[in-house]
A and B are shown apart, each in its own frame.
Chain A
Amino acid sequence: MTPAEIAARLRTRFGDGAVVAVQDALLDPTLELAPERLHEAARFLRDEDDLRFDFLRSLAGVDRKEALEVVYHLLSLPHRHGVTLRVRTPRDKPSVASVADVWPTAEWHERETFDLFGIDFAGHPDLRRLFLPDDWVGYPLRKDYAPPAEYHGIVTTREGSLPVTRAQVAGRPQVQVAMHGAKAEELPGYMRVNMGPHHPATHGVINFLLETDGEIIRKASPDVGYLHRGIEKLAESNLYIGTMPYTDRVDYLGAIFANHSWALAVEKLLGLAVPPRGEYCRAIASELNRIASHLIATGALAMDVGAFTPFTHWIREREKINDIMERICGARLTYNYLRFGGVARDIKPDVVDTIRLWLDHFEPILREFNRLISDNEIFVRRLADVAPISAADAVGFGLVGPNLRASGVHWDLRRDAPYSIYPELEFDVIVGKGFRGVVGDCYDRYWCRVLEMVESMKILRQACDKLPEGEFWAKPKVVKPAANEFYAAVESARGELGAYVIADGTDKPYRAKFRTGSYTGLSIIQHLSPGLMLADLVALIGSLDVVAPEVDR
């Protein structure tokens, strides 16, 4: 259904005033809704049979100086169509109806938007800051934000501060770290535990506030933002290409994917085409990266549930991928490989040979790995039937990638919203089938990742064979897109990684927003945790393959 048709449906249902404008000059045609109609319209869009927008891809705040905006990117998995909504709200008293009861994933997105833009979401169940500390002043993503000169005795500029000495640190008052957020209610009879932010099983600095009854969890709420580095704000003050290295840090285990979504969005804004060899180089790098990322995901999950050896095997294999990546793009981890219109360096024939050799080597190793751990009775029992996620929950909470597919939902952007050269390649989309337990349990999520590595190997072989001759980079003269906006997404190792870019005609983006897989993955934990054993929570976190920078950005 086209945006104009959807607008017509909304107008017939809610009156002409419901849709203020249809902005179809934009690359993402957008419906601007009347704020007072937003909530009804959202429900209508989700529930009508021919609309069925069941998936909220992203929710972004935008500061338009004279007013604030909230932009919703919706997707319908049954009908495979999308629409973008926008509402405006006055700057001095910004308030928008919450849609958290329509799409549960909106709960976190709205908290984030409240945190960074100060927009109040009426009807939100638990509106408080998400990333920044509770005592933070101001809303950083507003255009007129000025950071404080000092926070808790730390000077915030590099120039104005000196290293502390031992004596100074010893002389400072004892640190008081709040156990729970300001609004946490007392639950008599339960024990409160902070799991994190420094904890080996949380995969980076994430804190889980647990209310436990012995070993049983009553509630586990993730407390994030310990790695909130403000990438979206920094992007606004960098050139388009200058943001490319920052995208590496959005997801450091899968840096290529964030590169890719950023490049796709900006290329679309520029109307730039990529030469075929460039596309193949991207796909090869992506799939290598996907395997490298799944190695950490599966290895770390095994380590989390108590098996250390598989992890060291995977670290060894990852070193080999790192070597190949280093020859492709010069870096082991933060690749900064993609450029608008192609890639920074060609993949040379000898590297292609190395990739083939490595694939030959890796195939038997993967079998060995499966013998070592995947079929291990103890391992299977730790994961099978643990914390299953139903398909409806997975969609509602906006899970993406292997986490979504493990619940039995067929959705892979490489196949269903094709980009790059993926339509030319043959591969299967792996979905969970209840391999050892019920559909969508921890083991399904684990096993989907293992099988995806096999698929990635297939893709790599085809891409190596088909790699066409020619240019790998059609370099644009200037990168200065006209005012417009676009949301581009790629299938990363952790699912949909989207970049929403608003251009204003200058050489810097007006607003950049990243939508990541770990973010929504983490938001489902609070919903799933009641009744879980403490040790199962660790398996759940590991099976969701959460990495902190993707959550916090």
Chain B
Amino acid sequence: MSDAADPLVKSPANADGPRVIEAEVYPGAIATRLDHAINWFRESSIWYLLFATACCGIELMQTGGPRTDLDRFGAVFRASPRQSDLLLVAGTITYKMADRVRLLWAQMADPKYVVAMGSCANCGGLFQRSYSVVCGVDKIVPVDLYLPGCPPRPEALNEAILRLQEKMHGERWAAKMKGQA
């Protein structure tokens, strides 16, 4: 999401566009666009639902652990969908589970995002020919980001969170709300 031409925010180091709001002319004061402020808050506190259905869930745990430490990016796990912004689908989804996934997604408050972690969540992976496995969680809930791998390494999941932050940074909430008003 390039935002380099935005007059309100300086971006000297960041060719891709500013990721944080920078202090403008007056010390102690910040001038920015409302969108940027909202996005900044949101992307810096991604609370993800600990939805570990299978093997990928172990790597998800390792990612939350001391080495990769997702907390650095404000991403912490929650056990309840009501408190989560991100449904991180880590693992295989079976037909028996499918309705529950949709229910979990429905329980999350907007704005919400979905990351499909691992081949199983992307397309069924190893199990796509199985009689009981859904060929990708995107058949049940809309997916924002696909993360390949079986299982993806913690570094990859970390990267996915950063990419998701980028995506969140490009949202235009204020414009949307104006349109609705």
Contact = CB atoms under 8 A, between A and B. Distances in A.
Interface of A: 131-133, 136, 140, 145, 147, 151-152, 154-158, 161, 163-166, 169, 172, 174-177, 197-200, 204-205, 225-231, 233-234, 237, 245-246, 248-249, 252-253, 296, 312, 315-316, 318-319, 322, 332-334, 548-549
A161 B139 contact: yes
Contacts of B115: none
Contacts, number: 156
Interface in B47-78: 50-55, 57-59, 61-62, 64-67
Interface string B81-111: 0000000000110111111101111100000
Given A227-B54, A229-B130, A152 B141 contact: no
A249 B142 contact: no
Nearest to A172: B102
B131 A147 contact: yes
Contact of A332 (B51, B59, B94, B99): B59
Interface in B113-165: 123-124, 126-136, 138-143, 150-151, 153
Contact of A225 (B96, B104, B141): B96
Given A175-B103, A228-B94, A229-B92, A316 B142 contact: no
A166 B53 contact: no
B79 interface: yes
Contact of A161 (B57, B62, B67, B135): B135
Nearest to B141: A169
Contact of B59 (A166, A296, A333): A333
Contacts of B91: 227
Interface of B: 50-55, 57-59, 61-62, 64-67, 79, 91-92, 94-100, 102-106, 123-124, 126-136, 138-143, 150-151, 153
Contact of B100 (A198, A229, A315, A316): A198
Most B Cβ at <10 Å: residue of A166, A228, A312: A228
Contact of B142 (A163, A225, A334): A163
Most A Cβ at <10 Å: residue of B105, B124, B126, B138: B126
A548 B55 CA distance: 10
A166 B142 contact: yes
Contacts of B61: 315
A467 to B, nearest CB: 28
A229 B132 contact: yes
B139 A163 contact: yes
Given A152-B98, A228-B96, A158 B136 contact: yes
B98 A249 contact: no
A198 B54 CA distance: 12
Contacts of A154: 95, 98, 134, 139-140
Contacts of A319: 62, 65-67
Contacts of B135: 156-158, 161
Given A154-B140, A237-B129, A333-B55, 6 more contacts: A151-B98, A169-B140, A176-B99, A249-B55, A319-B65, A333-B58
B126 A246 contact: yes
Contacts of A176: 99
Nearest to A224: B96
A318 B52 CA distance: 18
Contact of A132 (B53, B59, B132): B132
Most B Cβ at <10 Å: residue of A147, A164, A198, A253: A198
A252 B126 CA distance: 14
Contacts of A248: 55
Given A169-B102, A204-B54, A249 B151 contact: no
A249 B139 contact: no
B102 A145 contact: no
Most A Cβ at <10 Å: residue of B53, B57, B105, B151: B53
A237 to B, nearest CB: 7
Contacts of B141: 164, 169
A163 B79 CA distance: 26
A56 to B, nearest CB: 26
Contacts of B130: 229-231, 233-234
